[in-house]
Structure 1
Amino acid sequence: MEQHLTEIIIFTALFLLVSGMGFVAARWRRPTDLASLDEWGLGGRNFGSWITWFLVGGDLYTAYTFVAVPALLWSAGAMGFFAVPYTIVIYPMVFLVLIRLWSVSHVHGFVTPADFVRARFGSPTLALLVAITGIVATMPYIALQLVGIEAVLKSMGVTGHLPIIIAFAILAAYTYQSGLRAPALIAFVKDTLIYIVILVAVVVIPIKLGGWDLIFDKAQEKFAASPALSDGTLLNANNQLQYVTLAFGSALALFLYPHSITGVLASRNRDVIKRNMSALPAYSLLLGLIALLGYMAIAAGTTPIGKDNNTIVPRLFDQMFPDWFTGVAYAAVGIGALVPAAIMSIAAANLFTRNVYKEYLKRDASDADEARVSKITSLLVKVGAVACILFLDTGFSIDLQLIGGVIILQTLPAVALGLYTRWFHRGGLIAGWVAGMTAGMVLLYNIGNPVTGKLHFAGSAFPLEKLGLDTKMTVYAGILALAVNLIVAALGTVIARAVNAPDGDDTTRPDHYLADEGDPRIKDLDFSPGAPRSH
């Protein structure tokens, strides 16, 4: 540990600095009263373009991305680049969805996607399923932020779980106090550090290694020596369909996650969302550069600590840079875990408060009651995330992230399609959710990994030969499960309409999906005490 003393000091200093910012955030843009979900959970719904850009970007590009994407390229090759196209194609698609969700949510005071589903389809059961789905899919994502911190701590020679417990205890404290304002303020520091570190890395490391030609040659040599374990620097015929479906499925899932929606609902108006959807692909450029660190590690001969591939990037920085800069890079990863973990825990807590507690336990809950329950729930969510790391091995928790994408996709018919059409019957959507979730779990159960010896839930690439097709190609399990969901939902809707099954009331109106800041229908943009709210 002594040889990493400089790195530890810089890491700790920057970590404590942003933690202090987290507590100060309670006074940043502070309203008269924080005791409501609109203020604590959505930052007053008043963030402008710059704050929203850093907040949403900091939420989507996490510490896990920083270490796992290049680690995947280091170990498997070209398949790891799937993260780049999916973070490009998603923005034009969500442009069509999130603006409508923002408008209807501001007219009605919705805090969660399940709130919208409850109003749109008049079904508390469907809303409950959407809420539970969001919470379950978010939990492993929070836990995976710890993977990034663990990788950094291991690289500094810090072992044991106590440092991670302390880090998340600090995170829990300032999130409890400041709500969404904390990650919004910290995101400025986090993204600035990551941009500096990556831009320096992609210039300095190739120069030290002898150029990009050498880097790609070394990568190809490694993959050519073990073709059964990797894709190489180019995809092969068997995994191209997996690459396409994984990128497309991941794109569809990205803004269905509750934490992604939370960042968008916190924005001031529709123009803020439009500008962000246009500017956020800049992060995709950064992601492509981050991914290339995996190939640099191959050329540098970097090896992981033990069998933990997530330590590849921290080890690369330790190998190529002086201690002080390595400490800054480590801090960028550590702080990169704090922003998304905070937003995710707030989003999960809001789902429980609005769609479980208020719907089923205390219908007359006041704004203050909601805020208090969400604060407490956000603490419990973080405890659960820490427990995942303490009691499960890292490999298993990473597999859970793949499962999370398959799970959250099952809310697409009710949330995303529901913003455009009321054709689906609530009974059909519930049946579709059950069918899609069941299909997804069955598919994932039947995915093994002969290299690791894991027989079930070992990834998301489902072999089409298991469906009786004469091919070695694989496909993303989430796409197949979503197809089952949509087919069953459509059939269920036709049947329900044929038998005249009662449908729920839709309390939204077409013009609600077009409302913007300043519109008299939007009653919840002024959150000062005594201001009228529509919920």
Structure 2
Amino acid sequence: MSDVDGVAFAVFLFFFLLVTVMGFLAARWRRAAALDNLDEWGLGGRSFGTFVSWFLIGGDIYTAYTFIAVPALLYAGNATGFFAVPYTIILYPIIFVFLPRLWSVSHRRRYVTPADFVQGRFDSRPLSLAVAFTGILATMPYIALQLVGIQAVLDVIGIGGGDDAGWFEKDLPLFIAFALLAAYTYSSGLRAPALIAFVKDSLIYIVIIVAVIYLPTQLGGWDGIFDKAGHAFDAFNQDNADAIAAGDAKPKGLIPGMGTAQWAYASLSLGSALALFMYPHSVTAVLSTKSRSVIRRNASLLPAYSFLLGLLALLGLAAIAAGVKVDNAQLAIPQLFEQEFSPWFAGVAFAAIAIGALVPAAIMSIAAANLWTRNIYKSFINPSASEAQEAQQSKVASLLVKFGALIFVLALPNDFAINLQLLGGIWILQTLPAIVIGLYTRWFHRHALLAGWAVGMAWGTIAAYNTPAVGDPGSHFGGSVAPLEVFGIDLSDNLIYFGLTALVLNLIVSVVLTVVFRATGVYEGIDDTKPSDYHADAGDPEVVEELDPLETPPA
């Protein structure tokens, strides 16, 4: 893989430079008078309609995780990787119901982040700080997953140096891509990924449609692909029967095994569905829309991406049928494209993967930066910060968040990059009681929510830390499911996603302590919101009118 294909690299470089230029020009797209406030820099003026939002939210959700991590699990023989398909199906009815409420209260009260809402709803700066901290922490491994995707493409193209290269030669191209991403995000804010998302999604649709039509014609049809993958998995299971019995290897198959694996499949699907729109970047994309109806229309239209996700997962099996041999499963799909497509189309596919990583990475860094600015910097460091100072803080913080993501890339095992996303999911799920349940009721006591959050975060993190990668007993953060065990007590042999278990503990602590605090009369704080806030729409009384970004605002 150290030999560079000039044609593939030229096509890849063309599209990469195209989106870089677009990223810088985005500051002039739908132009406002200035980007020196968070409404404009961090939320794109809160003015995106259905068309732009569909690309932006789709670009936000369907990332390098889609192109690299999910097919890698199937390539490695882990049929549980198909959990990504039902979880996105479960997801959209959930967001159809609760995100319009968050949009309404955020627009009426001028909230920029989910932690702003928690502060207003529960009158608790510590709880708001916990939500902000969790959002930033959970976002970093998700950004890291995007960097892993870019690195996989660069390795296959031949400009990543390969596994035997020194760290400088191997990582320099990634650092350059990272620097360009940081530069145009700093310059253009949310408008950059919104504009680039048009190119990203167009390339993805083209590549997937061509792949699912062309590859079966070369590999004996889908029947042949499933047959070859099944034989490969059976052969592996026979050759490694002793290691599987000893727990040093996992059996491979096209269908999740009965019992424990099916519990893993179900819990990962449900946990991921509950977590996805808790992420600050998902909330940021939603708050950038101009009305409640835009969110609901997108919740109805976005399942089109779920169809693509199912097809993409199957490419992991196509790589097996094509005879792709890689030690790192993350390289399977880029290697498949290089092996089976002409160089120019392989370059298009590589560009789709890389740009598919850049768009969400940009949104994620912006969202995390907004949390830092509004809920840490302004709340605890400089309460009198002006709007311009807030915007400047977010710009700088967006750079630092990307560097934090690099730490995850370098420090954690990424043979299965999907673990990075699932680790973030464990953390972000612990904000669900304060955000989602808080949209409907203020019954939970603010101190109880904070205690529940702390228990869920601690248990989920420790459980993930104590899970080694298969075949490497001394490693950590090697998976996100394990037999159900709480505080040393074995409750079940079924594999359960840590995020769900931690959330259940979180809710139990929150409920019990709420009863205790209410019984003892502990002060609950003042709710800054009103019932009518949760149904407000653009144009309603007390909802600030959003300026058309194509017009110059009045003096």
Q: TM-score, normalised by structure 2?
A: 0.92
| In 2, Cα distance between equivalents of 1:507 and 1:453 | 50
Q: Does 1:151 align with 2:152?
A: yes
Please say if residues 249 and 479 of structure 1, whose CA atoms lie closer than 8 Å, have aligned partners that are also in contact: yes
Look up the SS of the partner of 2:5 in the other structure: helix
Please say if residues 433 and 507 of structure 2, whose CA atoms lie closer than 8 Å, have aligned partners that are also in contact: yes
Change (3 A) 1:90 1:420: same
Change (3 A) 1:69 1:400: closer
| In 2, Cα distance between equivalents of 1:123 and 1:220 | 54
Aligned to 1:353: 373
Aligned to 1:252: 274
Aligned to 2:427: 407
Pairing of 1:31-430 with structure 2 (within 5 A): 31-158=32-159, 159=161, 160-227=170-237, 228=244, 229-237=250-258, 238-304=260-326, 307-390=327-410, 393-395=413-415, 399-430=419-450
What one-letter code is carried by the residue in structure 2 that aligns with 1:47? F
Change (3 A) 1:493 1:470: closer
Identity percentage over the alignment?
Answer: 57
| In 2, Cα distance between equivalents of 1:144 and 1:27 | 30
| In 2, Cα distance between equivalents of 1:449 and 1:136 | 22
Look up the SS of the partner of 1:464 in the other structure: strand
Query: 1:457 Cα deviation (Å)?
Result: 2.3
Query: 1:463 Cα deviation (Å)?
Result: 1.0
Query: 1:106 Cα deviation (Å)?
Result: 0.2
Deviation digits for residues 338-379 of structure 1 (CA, Å, limit 9, x no counterpart): 100000000000000000000011111111111011001111
Look up the SS of the partner of 2:359 in the other structure: helix
Aligned to 2:455: 435
Query: 1:456 Cα deviation (Å)?
Result: 3.4
What one-letter code is carried by the residue in structure 1 that aligns with 2:48? F
| In 2, Cα distance between equivalents of 1:168 and 1:437 | 29
Q: Unpaired segments of 5 or more residues in structure 2?
A: 162-169, 238-243, 245-249
Please say if residues 324 and 335 of structure 2, whose CA atoms lie closer than 8 Å, have aligned partners that are also in contact: yes
Query: 1:527 Cα deviation (Å)?
Result: 8.1
Deviation digits for residues 418-470 of structure 1 (CA, Å, limit 9, x no counterpart): 00000000011011111111221232233234423345322111213786558
What one-letter code is carried by the residue in structure 2 that aligns with 1:477? F
Look up the SS of the partner of 2:546 in the other structure: coil
Change (3 A) 1:476 1:391: closer
| In 2, Cα distance between equivalents of 1:63 and 1:257 | 16
Deviation digits for residues 3-33 of structure 1 (CA, Å, limit 9, x no counterpart): 5111111111110001101111100001112
| In 2, Cα distance between equivalents of 1:471 and 1:248 | 18
Aligned to 2:164: none
Query: 1:389 Cα deviation (Å)?
Result: 3.0
Q: Name the count of aligned residue pairs.
A: 530
Please say if residues 137 and 405 of structure 1, whose CA atoms lie closer than 8 Å, have aligned partners that are also in contact: yes
Please say if residues 539 and 545 of structure 2, whose CA atoms lie closer than 8 Å, have aligned partners that are also in contact: no
Aligned to 2:471: 451
Query: 1:292 Cα deviation (Å)?
Result: 0.3
Aligned to 1:490: 511
Q: Unpaired segments of 5 or more residues in structure 1?
A: none
Please say if residues 59 and 343 of structure 1, whose CA atoms lie closer than 8 Å, have aligned partners that are also in contact: yes
| In 1, Cα distance between equivalents of 2:420 and 2:432 | 20
Change (3 A) 1:231 1:396: closer
| In 1, Cα distance between equivalents of 2:388 and 2:554 | 15
What one-letter code is carried by the residue in structure 1 that aligns with 2:21? G
Please say if residues 267 and 500 of structure 2, whose CA atoms lie closer than 8 Å, have aligned partners that are also in contact: yes
Change (3 A) 1:524 1:192: same
What one-letter code is carried by the residue in structure 2 that aligns with 1:208? Q
Look up the SS of the partner of 1:428 in the other structure: helix
Please say if residues 414 and 420 of structure 2, whose CA atoms lie closer than 8 Å, have aligned partners that are also in contact: no
Deviation digits for residues 164-204 of structure 1 (CA, Å, limit 9, x no counterpart): 11111111111111100000000000000001001100000
Change (3 A) 1:100 1:471: closer
Query: 1:234 Cα deviation (Å)?
Result: 1.1
Q: TM-score, normalised by structure 1?
A: 0.96
- Please identify, of 393-402 and 58-67, the stretch whose mean Cα deviation from structure 2 is larger: 393-402
Look up the SS of the partner of 1:473 in the other structure: strand
Query: 1:2 Cα deviation (Å)?
Result: 5.1
Deviation digits for residues 457-507 of structure 1 (CA, Å, limit 9, x no counterpart): 221112137865586421111111100000100011000001100111101
Look up the SS of the partner of 2:496 in the other structure: strand
